[in-house]
Amino acid sequence: MKKNVYFLLALLLMVLSACDNEPKFKVSGEISGADNKTLYFEASGLDGIVALDSAKLGSNGIFSFSGKRPESPEFYRLRLDNKVINFSVDSIETLTVKAGANDFATGYSIEGSENNTKIKELVLLLADLQKRVDQLAHNRNIPAGVAQDSLVSMVNNYKNKVKREYIFAAPNMTYAYFALFQALNGYMLFDPLTNKDDVKCFAAVATSLNNTYPHADRSRNLYNMVIKGMKNTRTPRQTELDIPQDKIKEATIIDIELKDIKGNVRRLTDLKGKVILIDFTVYNNAMSAAHNLALRELYNKYASQGLEIYQISLDADEHFWKTSSDNLPWICVRDANGAYSQYVTLYSVTNLPAVFLVNRANELSARGETITNLEESIKKLL
């Protein structure tokens, strides 16, 4: 009997030992100036942040975490208060992180992985862009229109640099994947669903990731995003549009009938007698705030003279649209069909935001790509 007990205990120890010998990665290091603070080790999954472990730091700030080696590249983070250090793991790596509590998110060093060195470079580049955008937003001496142009230029320059040096340079690396999902003021810089150039970036990384890890969740997710983006941005065939007759009033303009945030139907033709600025846009975009700031400046100047703005949101998230547009003084409607909106097709919208001007007779006067000075064009119609 005793022999059987010893045998079972030995077998149990062997099983536990085998489980404990599963391949693991390790992240350890030292956080200075964080005595008695809690350091959290978290996974950044497709479904959100998942807590894995935590450690209360002592006066020496030393910590050590480990995790099961992922079957395909995955992303993790260290969090101290509301500051985070992002890193990736794609093998049995040993990473060493050193940081201070004050500049935890940007002043850290990480050893043991080229991917994570590049991820830190991207973090610093984005932090610099965020700083310059914040300075621009707080500079009241710059007209809203000029500020928007400057913002667009800064964002485009940033994206071009990241595309050239990180995404297309090495689409098979995890830092290229990380670059795709960088956000400015909470909005993704790269648009995988409606921007044709950005879709190409996602496609490059998706192809590389799918070749190496075809069964990984991230591969499938990225691939699905690319398919949707390609459908949304493909050039429509040159076929004759069958425009519903009830959308055309007085043979002057294609009418738009959509509900505002209160559920009331707002018709474009009901605004005859006013100069109308039609604006197709998405609020969930990094440049939306500056765009609306420029529109507000125009509206404040010319609403009393007969200007009305009819703004059409193509946002997928209805709650986000309602929250974002709640305090705007003009007409805000939303088309739940988004990029598939019939109005996007009827008005031949190819980029967002897209503006059109309608004169007091309810006639389409100009489209955005032909307008060199929006304010001057509005003043002429008034």
User: Angle at which helices 144-162 and 114-137 pack, to 10 degrees?
Assistant: 170
| Amino acid identity at 210 | N
Share of the chain above pLDDT 90, in %: 46
Q: Tell me the CA distances in angstroms from 264 to 257, 267, 270, 334, 343, one per residue in order.
A: 10, 10, 13, 11, 18
**pLDDT band at residue 249, thresholds of 50, 70 and 90?**
very low
Task: Encode pLDDT of 80-122 as tens digits.
Answer: 999 999 999 987 678 999 999 999 999 999 988 889 999 999 9
Question: What is residue 253's predicted lDDT score, i.e. its pLDDT?
Answer: 74
**pLDDT band at residue 9, thresholds of 50, 70 and 90?**
low
264-274: b or e for each residue (b if 16 or more CB lie within 10 Å)? eebebbebbeb
0.85 exceeded by pTM: no
**pLDDT band at residue 239, thresholds of 50, 70 and 90?**
very low
253 half-sphere exposure, CB direction, 13 A CA radius: 23
- Distance, CA of 53 to CA of 34 (rounded, Å): 17
- Mean pLDDT (the chain) is 85
9 CB neighbour count, 10 Å cutoff: 10
Q: Which of 162-171, 220-229, 362-371 has the highest mean pLDDT?
A: 162-171
Helix (H) or strand (E) holding 275, with range, is strand 275-281
Q: Which of 124-133, 138-147, 249-258, 339-348 has the highest mean pLDDT?
A: 124-133
Q: For the chain, how are helix, strand and coil distributed in percent, rounded to 5?
A: 40, 25, 30
The structural domains of the chain, ordered by start, are 19-110 (2.60.40.180), 125-233 (no CATH), 257-380 (3.40.30.10)
**pLDDT band at residue 248, thresholds of 50, 70 and 90?**
very low
User: Angle at which helices 217-233 and 196-212 pack, to 10 degrees?
Assistant: 150
**pLDDT band at residue 189, thresholds of 50, 70 and 90?**
confident
- Residue of higher predicted confidence among 97 and 223: 97
Find the mean pLDDT for residues 148-162. Answer: 88
Question: What is residue 38's predicted lDDT score, i.e. its pLDDT?
Answer: 96
Task: Encode pLDDT of 41-84 as tens digits.
Answer: 999 988 889 999 999 999 999 999 999 889 899 999 999 999 99
- Distance, CA of 115 to CA of 374 (rounded, Å): 45
Question: What is residue 250's predicted lDDT score, i.e. its pLDDT?
Answer: 43
Question: What is residue 212's predicted lDDT score, i.e. its pLDDT?
Answer: 85
